[in-house]
Amino acid sequence: MKINNKFLKHQNGFVLVTTLWILAALTIAASYFALWTQKSVNIVQDMQADTQGEIDMYSTQTSITYLLITQKLNVAGLTVPKIDDNIEEIEEIEVDEISSDSILPVGGEIKLDDRPYVGYGKAFFALQDKRGLIGINFADKNVISSLLGVLGVEPELRGPLVAKLQDYIDFDDLHRLNGAEDSHYKRLNLPPPINNYLTTSMECKNILDWSEQETLWKNNAFGQLTNTMFATYPNFNTAPALVLQAAYNLTTEHAQRIVATRKNSPVLSIDQLNQMTGTMVDVDPEELMIFPSTNLRLTIWYEGSKRMRQVHINLPLSLISDKKPWEIDYYLDIPLLPIYTEIPPIHAQTTFFDSTLSPKMQ
């Protein structure tokens, strides 16, 4: 029987095409599997990095907490054990132990003006004395209006916004000119004013018209510069430049001079302030704030993270009390702000954040 050559050629061609299709499919499957495998490896590596970052943040937070309850505060910041000190021999002291020599700088302090430091492992941290911020519950309305101004709120909006803030936190239901009380919120189907002091600065978003001011909330600007503690005059040694401008009616240049100069020489007197700025600073000597409070904001994050944690710590006035040695009022996880990554972090002059050693309170 003769076999048709055309049929054989057609059959061979079909087998070849089928084989090529199978090889192509196997190649695609192998490539997809390799891509899936690499993606899975990357996910696991990211999870490991996140886990290690959280561990480093926790170690940094516990070390900072230990320093806060065992070391002194002075006008320059938080004192730390020197590199050659024996950590096991650190003597605990009362936070409010203040004498004529204890308020003066000793060198190597961790600054309380929100500058970034290298923490444990791949973590970083910044400490902000909350007395260096503007207390929105008690600050003069002109100071709050000035703060809104330096944050970019239009002049015609500042007065009404301040009036609505005051109506929101006062204890009555009478509304000020341009203010707003319960009836104004009900018409807009909004939660009514709390008629009490604010717990966090972010509650201001609940005040009528405040959430519409985008410049206040961009990069959490308003929250970074304000607090809700009882404080009327910000601390010259820890206040950001914008706070100094708003609270003390200083120009941008004068406020920045104070911030730059106090890095090496903290403010101790009004005469020194006048020398720093080259002008007469309008502040009553009895209202000159230069010493930090026991309310602090600890900001921590880790390398490669897109988020950060802000822990609001409250230390008792005396460690010899029936209270806890420290309390965390609240904490927030928010996107990492550019202000913490735009300048190189500082290495604290202590072994507490040496990754080759175990943290004190790990």
- The Cβ-side half-sphere exposure at 87, using a 13 Å CA radius, reads 14
Kindly tell me if the per-residue pLDDT of 11 is higher than 80.
no
Beta-ladder partners of 297:
128, 312
Residue with tokens 């048709």, as numbered in its chain: 4
Q: Measured between alpha carbons, how far is 264 from 76 in angstroms, rounded to an integer?
A: 9
Classify domain 140-214 at the CATH superfamily level.
Answer: EpsJ-like (1.10.40.60)
Lowest mean pLDDT among 30-39, 120-129, 259-268, 351-360: 351-360
**Tens digits of residue pLDDT in 156-195:** 999 999 999 999 999 998 889 999 999 999 999 999 999 9
Confidence of residue 30 (pLDDT cuts 50, 70, 90): low
Question: What pLDDT score was predicted for residue 127?
Answer: 98
**Buried/exposed code over 233-265 (b: 16+ C-beta within 10 A; e: otherwise):** bbbbbbbbbbbbbbbbebeeebbebbbebbeee
**Tens digits of residue pLDDT in 76-99:** 999 998 765 554 444 444 444 444
> Which carries the bigger pLDDT value, residue 50 or residue 34?
50
- The CA distances from residue 262 to 13, 82, 112, 236, 326, in Å, are 85, 22, 12, 9, 28
Considering the chain, tell me which residue range(s) the CATH 1.10.40.60 domain(s) occupy: 140-214
**Which DSSP string do the residues of 159-221 spell out, in sequence order?**
HHHHHHHHHHHSSSSPPPTT---HHHHHHTT-PPP--S--SSGGGGGGSTTTTT-HHHHGGGH
Kindly tell me if the per-residue pLDDT of 325 is higher than 80.
no
Lowest mean pLDDT among 50-59, 75-84, 238-247: 75-84
Rounded to 5°, the CA angle 316-125-82 comes to 75
Kindly tell me if the per-residue pLDDT of 241 is higher than 70.
yes
Question: What pLDDT score was predicted for residue 257?
Answer: 93
- The CA distances from residue 266 to 89, 273, 286, in Å, are 29, 10, 18
State the DSSP H helix or E strand holding residue 129, giving kind and residue range, or none if neither: strand 123-129
